[in-house]
Amino acid sequence: MIFFKRTTHIKAAFLGLFSLLLSSVASAGSHPNLVITIDDVKLMRQAIKGEGQFAMAYNDLKAQVDEQIKQPITVPVPKDGGGGYTHERHKKNYQVMYNAGIIYQLSEDDKYADYVRDMLLEYAALYPTLDVHPKRKVKSQNPGKLFWQSLNEAMWLVYTIQAYDLIYDSLSAAQVKVIEDDLIRPVSLFTSEGQPSTFNKVHNHGTWATAGVGMAGYVLDEPEWVEKSLYDLDKSGKGGFIKQLEMLFSPQGYYNEGPYYQRFALLPFVTFAKAIENNEPQRNIFEYRDGVLLKAIDTTIQLSYNGLFFPINDAIKSKGIDTIELVHGVTAAYGLTNDTGYLDIAKKQKQTILSGDGLKVAQALDNQMQTPYEFRSVAFGDGNDGKQGALVVMRTQVGGDQAVLFKPAAQGLGHGHFDKLTWQFYDRGNEIVSDYGAARFLNVEAKFGGRYLPENETYAKHTVAHNTVVVDETSHFNANVKVGNNNHPTLNYFTTNEFGTVANGSISSAYKNVELERTLALINLPELDSTITLDIFNANAKTKHQFDLPLHYKGQLIDTSFDLKANASQLSALGSNNGYQHLWLKAQATPQNGLAKVTWLNDNGRFYTQTSLVSGDEEFLFTQIGANDPLFNLRNENGFIRRVEDQKQHTFVSILEPHGEYNPSKEYTLEAVSRVSAANYIEQGNLLLVHLIIKNKAYLVAINKAHSKASNTFTFKNKSFTLNDRLGVYALKNN
Amino acid sequence: MIFFKRTTHIKAAFLGLFSLLLSSVASAGSHPNLVITIDDVKLMRQAIKGEGQFAMAYNDLKAQVDEQIKQPITVPVPKDGGGGYTHERHKKNYQVMYNAGIIYQLSEDDKYADYVRDMLLEYAALYPTLDVHPKRKVKSQNPGKLFWQSLNEAMWLVYTIQAYDLIYDSLSAAQVKVIEDDLIRPVSLFTSEGQPSTFNKVHNHGTWATAGVGMAGYVLDEPEWVEKSLYDLDKSGKGGFIKQLEMLFSPQGYYNEGPYYQRFALLPFVTFAKAIENNEPQRNIFEYRDGVLLKAIDTTIQLSYNGLFFPINDAIKSKGIDTIELVHGVTAAYGLTNDTGYLDIAKKQKQTILSGDGLKVAQALDNQMQTPYEFRSVAFGDGNDGKQGALVVMRTQVGGDQAVLFKPAAQGLGHGHFDKLTWQFYDRGNEIVSDYGAARFLNVEAKFGGRYLPENETYAKHTVAHNTVVVDETSHFNANVKVGNNNHPTLNYFTTNEFGTVANGSISSAYKNVELERTLALINLPELDSTITLDIFNANAKTKHQFDLPLHYKGQLIDTSFDLKANASQLSALGSNNGYQHLWLKAQATPQNGLAKVTWLNDNGRFYTQTSLVSGDEEFLFTQIGANDPLFNLRNENGFIRRVEDQKQHTFVSILEPHGEYNPSKEYTLEAVSRVSAANYIEQGNLLLVHLIIKNKAYLVAINKAHSKASNTFTFKNKSFTLNDRLGVYALKNN
C-alpha cells in the first residue's frame, strides 16, 4: 500500500498543472508528517525526559488532556449556532483530539490514541447521517454540517486531520477505512467540491478550507486535493492557497484587514505551509513571493505596541502578540530563520508549542539565546501590490517608548472602518490618542449575543469615532464599504531619520470634491528628553463645508488655555447620525487667535497637551461617548472636536506633547503645564516649516513636500538652512 | 561640658512632674542620639562596606546627595504660600540637610557636614530677621515664619534637629552657639511658647510641634522642653505628646481620621518615640497604653488592600503602604518586635531607611527572613475609648483575595465624609464597589491650585457619593461637621468564623427621627470557590420619607434583569443639591417583585452581579458622575441608586456576587450570568435568615441579632437548625 501510494503521488505530481518541480522526496505513507514529522517526534520524545520549558509544556498539556479524556466522549447531533452547546462541544472535540494526538506521539501511551480513535469513529458514524446545519444562515452559500457555517467546519478539519495523522499508526486497516471513507473524505469533499465559492475564495475563509483539504490530501495520499487546494478546484490558479498568498498580503506581508484579522488569518497559512514544506519541500512555499509568509508573521509583530495590536478596524483591543495564532507564527518563524529576535517575542508570549519548531524555541529560550526584537518605523504598503496606500508606524525611544500609527491605508473589507488618515498615539506603554476599536463584548451573551454590537455600525465604524476629518457630519465614502474598498488614500511620502519620522497621505475620494491631506511627524528632541508629534491636516474643497477634526484621548481633562462654556446641568447628543448621535456635547469654546491648549492626565500619571494653532475660526466641542446608548453598550470615553464651518479650505495644525508626572502617592507633580510657549506654521514653497519654542528652546522643523529627496537650501528669518532629507530639525538661537 | 549637661539632665528628670523613673542612663551630650544612635552608626558604617540592600540604599542616597550639594545653598527670604517657590525650597532644604547628615555619619566625609553647617548658618543669619510669614492665613493662630503655617515649620524642625544632631560633632563651639542661639532655640520657642494653641493641641499638628521641640530638647539638653512636649506647656498633661497618644488613637491603634491621615500622623509619633526610647528608655514610651504606638503602625497596614489604603474620608486613592511614613513605621515596628511578618510589608515597600532599625530590616530581607503578613477580619473600635462606632474590615481568600470595608465609624473631624454605614468591596486586587475618595489633584496647579477641589465639598463628602442610605436627598447630619463629630454610629456586633464575617451597625442621629441599621456579611461558599456579600439595610422613620441607597461600581454595565428606560438623547442632573447636582440620570427602571439584577464587568475581566430583593416599590436610577462640573474636575464613574418614596420604613436587601471571566484575548467568556436563581429574606425573632439558591445549590444563611452568643435552635421549613455563633451557613438539600 505504501508503494502504491507513493506511485500515485508521483503520477499526480507529474499531472499537476502548476507543480513546478518533480516531487522527488514524496513522503506520503509516513505518519505523522504535517506540521509535526517523524523526525520532530524523535527529538521531542528525548526532550520531555529532561527539564526545561518544553518538558514543562508537555506535562501541562498532558495533565490537561488527562482531565479531558476522563470525560465520556460526546459527539452530539449538530443543533446550536455559534456559542451554543453543540457548537462549542464540537470545537472542544477537535482541540482535545489534536492535543491527545500529540500526547500519544510523545508519551507513546495507547490510551490517548484510543481516545482519538473512538471519537473519530463516533464522528464517522454521525457524519454520513447529517444534512446541512439547521442553524445555517438563510440563502447562505457556506453552511456547514457539524457547524452553522463552513468556516468552523474547515477549522474542525484543520485540527482533526492533524489529530488523525498523529494517531494513524495505531489504527487497524479496518478503522482507517471507516474513518477515511465515512468522515475525512466526506468532510474534505463537502469543504471543497461541496462549496466551490468558499473553497476558491481569496479570503481567510478560503485559507482554512484549502489548508484543511490540502493537509487531508497529504494524509490520505490524494495529491489532487493538494493541487486543488493550492490552485483552485479547477487548478487554474484563480483561487486557492497560492492565490491567497499572492492577493491577501502586500509585498511586505501586510494583511488588508489589519493586525487583528492578520493574526487570525495567519494560523491556517502557517499550518498548511509547514505541511507543504514537510511533504514537498521542493515547492519552496516559504520562499514564495520573496518570503511573504515570513514577512506576514514579522509584520504582525511590528503592528503591535507594548504587546497589543494596533486596534484599527473591527479589533478587540486586548488582542496582542500572545494570541495562539501568533505563537504558532513566531515558532515557525524561528524554526525557519534562527533569528534570535523572535525568541524575544516568544519569551513574551509565554507559551510553548509542542512541535519540532516549538522544541527549538523552548531549548533556545532555556539557553537564554533571545536578543531584543527590533520594532521599527515602517510604512507598510497596503493592497496586494503594496500601492493602495499604507499603514504607517512611527517609533521612538526618546523620552520613553512611543509610537504613532498613521492610517492612509485602504478600507480593509467589511471589517474596515471609515477612518482614512486617522492616527493614534502611544507613550510609555499606554494608549494616549485612541481608537475605539470594535464595539463588541466577545462571547458575552447579554451584549447582543457576544456578536458585534449594533453600535459597531452606528458608532465605532464611523469617521467621527476616529481622529480624522469629517466633512459635513457624514462619514468617509458615505459609510459605503463597497465604495471604500474601491478607493484608497495615497501615501505621498515616508521618511525616518535621526530627527524623527514623517509621513504624508492624502485622499480625494472620501468625499466628493474634497481633498484631504495629512502630514504627521514624530519629532525627537533628545536635549529635552522629549518628543512632539506635529499634525498638519489640510482639507480643500470646491465648495463650502463644515470640517470637524476629532481627537479621542484617554484620561481626565486637566486644563484648557481658553474658557469653556459647559453644558453643566443638561446634556444633549451632538448630532443625529453618522456616530454623532452617540456623542454627548459636554462643553464648547471658541479660542482666540494663537495657541489653544488642551491638557489631560492619563491613568498612569503623565500629562499630555495638544497645542492647536488657531486663528479664531475654530470651535472646540468637548464630547463624551454614550448618548443614544440605552443598553450601556459603549465605553464612555472623552474627546474634543475642532470644528470650522462654512469654509472651502482649512488647515488644522497642532502639536502633541507628553510631559511631566503626577505622583500623588509620593506627593509630587512635575511639569504639569505644557512647555510649548510659541509656535508658528509656515508653508514656503515645497517646505512645511514649524517654528516653535519649547521649554525656552527655539526649534525649526522643516518638512520637504517635494517628491525628490534632493538637497534643499532655504532661508528662514534671514538665516540659511540646508535640508538634505525630507525631515530636518534645527535648534535655533533664542531670540 | 558633657558632665555639666549630664548633671542638669538628671536634675531635670528629678524635677519632671510626670517622669516616672529616674533617668539613670541619660545620654545627653552624645551625638547622634535621636532616631539614630552612636551604636547604630557603628553597625551602619560596617554594613555599607559590604553588599546587600542597605549598602545599595546608602549608595543611592549618597549619589542623590552628591548631586544636591553641588548646587549652591539657597535660603530665600520666605515669600510664597504652599506650593510656591520659597515654600518648596525650604522643604527641600530640610530634606537635603537630613540626608546629608546621614551621609556624613556613614561616609565620615566632612564635606557633607560642612554643607549642613553652612546651610544652618545661613538659616541662623536669616531667622532672627523674620516676622510671621506674609502669606499666613488672616486671623490664623498658627502662622509660621519660614512657612505660611506652623505645621510646616514644625516639620522643618523635626528634620533639621536630626540633621543638626547628626553633624554636631563636626562643629566648633562658636558654630554651635550661633546655630543654637540664633536658630534652633528661637524656632523651638516660637513653635512651643510662641503658639500654645498649636503646641498643646491634641491633633496631628500638635504632634509635629511636640516632636520637633522635644527632640530639640534632647539635643540641646533642655529637659524642660522634653517635659513640655510630653505633657503640655504647663506640664499638666492636658496636652502634649502623651495626651495625643491617649486621645488620637483608639485602644487598637485606629486613628479617627482614617488610614490616609493615620499614615501621615504616624511619622512624628514614631520619630519622637524612637528619640525618647533612645534617650530615656525608662519612659517605656512604646509600651504606653498597652503598646498603642505599635498597634497604630500595625493598624495602618491592616487598613490597606492590595497595597493601597482603604480610601475613606478625604483620601488620595493612590496612597498606600509604600508611603515613606509607613516605611518608617514598619522599620520601627520590626526593630521593636522582630516580627518577620513586618518584613513581608517592608519587602513590598521597596525602600530602606538609613537607620539602626533600617539596617536590621535590610539585613533580614537580605537573608529572606520575611514570613507572610497576616491580614485579618477586624472591627477597629473608633474614638479614644474605642467605643465610638468602629471601622470594620472583613476578609476572605475564598475565590480570590477579597475584602469588605464597612463603616459604622465616627465622623473623623474636618476631613470626614458624611457616609455613616457605607461600605466598599474589593476582589482580586481591584476596587469593585467603590468610594470616591477626595476630589483633589494633589499639587496640580490647574486643578484649583492642587488643593481640595470645590467638588470635594459639593460632591465627594456628601452621602450620595457613598454606598449608604440618603434620606430626602439630604446628607447625614445635614452635612454639618460639628454635629457629625458629636454623634457616631454604634457597632452592634461583629463576628468572624469559618462561614465568613458579619457585622451590624446603626445610627439614629444622622437624620432626625430616622434609625438606620445595616447588617453586612461576607459569606464563604468554598464548595463554589466563591463568596457572596449580604447587605441588609433597614431604614425606620417616624414619618414618611424618600430613601435612596446608592451603589457606586467600577466597570461597564453589562446587563439588568429588568427593562431600562434610558435618557438616550438628553441627560439632566438628578437633583440640585447635596451632591445630587453632580449626578447625571442616565436611565431608570422599576423592577417587578422578585430578584432585580444588575451585572457589570470590571477592567480586569471579572463580572459582578448585585441581586436586589424587591417587591415592586423600588425604583432604580442609573447615574454617572459629572453634572455641574464645568471644569471637568470629577471622574465620570457609574452607579445606581435604589429609591423608595413616601415610606416610613424600608429594608434594602441585596446579594453581591463576583463571577466568571471575560477573556477576549483568549476568546473565552465564563459564567457571565449571575448564579443566584432564588433568594428570600426572612426575619424570625432575633434571626435574620437568607435562603438562596446559587449555582443550583440551596443555602440558608442565619445571623443571630441577639446580643448573646448563646446556642440557638430554630426551625426553618420544618427542619431544625442549631446556630452556635452569630453567623451560620447551612447547605440545604435542593427542593
User: Which residue, among B458, B665, B666, B673, would best test binding to A if mutated, counting the most A CBs under 10 Å from its CB?
Assistant: B665
Which of A317, A352, A375 is the last residue in one of the domains?
A375
Total number of domains constituting chain A: 2
pLDDT tens digits, one per residue of A561-603: 999 999 999 999 999 999 999 999 999 999 999 999 999 999 9
CA–CA min distance B55, chain A (Å) = 23
The CATH number of whichever domain residue B616 belongs to comes to 2.70.98.70
User: Which residue, among B444, B577, B621, B640, would best test binding to A if mutated, counting the most A CBs under 10 Å from its CB?
Assistant: B444
Neighbours of A103 (CB within 10 A): 26
Q: Give the three-class secondary structure for A719.
A: strand
Percent of all residues in chain B with a pLDDT value above 90, rounded to a whole number: 89
Q: Are both A573 and A659 inside the same structural domain? A: yes
Q: Looking at the partner chain, which of B628, B664, B672 has a beta carbon nearest the beta carbon of A446?
A: B672
Q: Which residues of A touch B316 (CB under 8 A)?
A: 664-665
CA–CA min distance B586, chain A (Å) = 8
Picking from B149, B379, B141, B388, the residue whose alpha carbon sits closest to that of residue B247 is B388
Query: How does DSSP classify residue A351?
Result: -
Would B453 be classed as within a structural domain?
A: yes
> Confidence band (pLDDT; 50, 70, 90) for A706?
confident
Using the beta-carbon criterion (under 8 Å), do B601 and A444 form an inter-chain contact? yes
CA–CA min distance B557, chain A (Å) = 6
pLDDT tens digits, one per residue of B23-81: 333 344 689 999 999 999 999 999 999 999 999 999 999 999 999 999 999 999 999 88
| Amino acid at position A513, single letter | N
For B234, the grid coordinates are 504647663
Q: Looking at the partner chain, which of A571, A622, A669 has a beta carbon nearest the beta carbon of B450?
A: A669
Domain residues for A327? 248-375
Q: Looking at the partner chain, which of B316, B442, B665 has a beta carbon nearest the beta carbon of A318?
A: B665
Q: Looking at the partner chain, which of A444, A627, A672 has a beta carbon nearest the beta carbon of B669?
A: A444
Q: Are both A368 and A385 inside the same structural domain? A: no
Would A531 be classed as within a structural domain?
A: yes
- What CA–CA distance (Å, rounded) separates B328 from A728? 52
- CB-based contacts of A12-18 (< 8 A; 24+ apart in sequence): A12/A223, A12/A224, A12/A227, A13/A223, A13/A280, A16/A223, A16/A227, A16/A231, A16/A235, A17/A227, A17/A231, A17/A235, A18/A227, A18/A230, A18/A231, A18/A235, A18/A237, A18/A242
Nearest CA in chain B to A576: B569
Q: Are both A337 and A451 inside the same structural domain? A: no
Rounded to an integer, the average pLDDT of A680-688 is 94
Are the C-beta atoms of residues B518 and B531 closer than 8 Å to each other?
Answer: no
Q: Which residues pair with B252 in a beta bridge?
A: none
Are the C-beta atoms of residues A271 and A52 closer than 8 Å to each other?
Answer: no
Would A79 be classed as within a structural domain?
A: no
- Residue owning grid cell 523613673: B21
- What CA–CA distance (Å, rounded) separates A77 from A59? 33
Using the beta-carbon criterion (under 8 Å), do A581 and B569 form an inter-chain contact? yes
Q: Are both A361 and A391 inside the same structural domain? A: no
Intervals of chain B under pLDDT 50: 1-28
Which of A375, A401, A433 is the last residue in one of the domains?
A375
Nearest CA in chain A to B555: A635
Nearest CA in chain A to B664: A442
Q: Say what the pLDDT of residue A712 is.
A: 84
> Confidence band (pLDDT; 50, 70, 90) for A14?
very low
Neighbours of B235 (CB within 10 A): 17
Nearest CA in chain B to A443: B669
> Confidence band (pLDDT; 50, 70, 90) for A733?
confident
Under 8 Å CB pairs connecting chains A and B tally to 146
Taking 60 as the threshold, does the pLDDT of residue A193 lie above it?
yes
Nearest CA in chain B to A604: B318
| Amino acid at position A603, single letter | D
Q: Looking at the partner chain, which of B444, B557, B665 has a beta carbon nearest the beta carbon of A320?
A: B665
pLDDT tens digits, one per residue of A604-627: 999 999 999 999 999 999 999 999
Q: Say what the pLDDT of residue B4 is.
A: 39
Q: Is B31 a catalytic residue?
A: no
- Residue owning grid cell 504587546: A307
| Integer angstrom CA distances of residue B507 from B388, B429, B647 | 11, 31, 19
Contacts with B138 (C-beta within 8 Å, 6 or more apart), sequence order: none
Average pLDDT, chain A: 94
Q: Are both A390 and A343 inside the same structural domain? A: no
Q: Say what the pLDDT of residue A734 is.
A: 61
Using the beta-carbon criterion (under 8 Å), do B316 and A664 form an inter-chain contact? yes
Q: Looking at the partner chain, which of B446, B587, B624 has a beta carbon nearest the beta carbon of A558?
A: B446
Would B146 be classed as within a structural domain?
A: no
Would A369 be classed as within a structural domain?
A: yes
Using the beta-carbon criterion (under 8 Å), do B636 and A624 form an inter-chain contact? yes
Q: Say what the pLDDT of residue B142 is.
A: 87
Q: Say what the pLDDT of residue A18 is.
A: 38
Q: Are both A329 and A383 inside the same structural domain? A: no
Q: Which helix (H) or strand (E) holds B210?
A: helix B204-219
Please pick, among B112, B261, B511, B553, the residue that the annotation labels catalytic: B261
Taking 60 as the threshold, does the pLDDT of residue A19 lie above it?
no
Would A330 be classed as within a structural domain?
A: yes
Q: Which residues of B touch A630 (CB under 8 A)?
A: 564, 566, 568, 587
- What CA–CA distance (Å, rounded) separates A421 from A408? 5
Using the beta-carbon criterion (under 8 Å), do B581 and A569 form an inter-chain contact? yes
> Confidence band (pLDDT; 50, 70, 90) for A709?
low
Q: Say what the pLDDT of residue B141 is.
A: 77
The DSSP string of A636-694 is --EEEEEEEEEEEEEEEEEEEEEE-EEETTTTEEE--S--EEEEEEEEETTEEEEEEEE
Taking 60 as the threshold, does the pLDDT of residue A24 lie above it?
no
Q: Are both A351 and A436 inside the same structural domain? A: no
Q: Is B261 a catalytic residue?
A: yes
CA–CA min distance B566, chain A (Å) = 5
Q: Which residues of B touch A564 (CB under 8 A)?
A: 630-631
Using the beta-carbon criterion (under 8 Å), do A664 and B573 form an inter-chain contact? no
Q: Are both A417 and A536 inside the same structural domain? A: yes
For A315, the grid coordinates are 479589533
Q: Are both A298 and A333 inside the same structural domain? A: yes
Q: Say what the pLDDT of residue A138 is.
A: 79
- What CA–CA distance (Å, rounded) separates A427 from A406? 15
Q: Are both A704 and A576 inside the same structural domain? A: yes
Would A644 be classed as within a structural domain?
A: yes
pLDDT tens digits, one per residue of A460-514: 999 999 999 999 999 999 999 999 999 999 999 999 999 999 999 999 999 999 9
Q: Are both A272 and A356 inside the same structural domain? A: yes
Q: Cα–Cα–Cα angle for B167, B170, B173, nearest 5°?
A: 110
> Confidence band (pLDDT; 50, 70, 90) for A2?
very low
- Prediction ipTM score: 0.91
Q: Are both A363 and A382 inside the same structural domain? A: no
Q: Give the three-class secondary structure for B250.
A: coil
Would A621 be classed as within a structural domain?
A: yes
Which of A336, A355, A375 is the last residue in one of the domains?
A375
Q: Which residues of B touch A444 (CB under 8 A)?
A: 558, 601, 662, 669, 672
Which residues of A does the annotation mark as catalytic? Answer: 261, 415
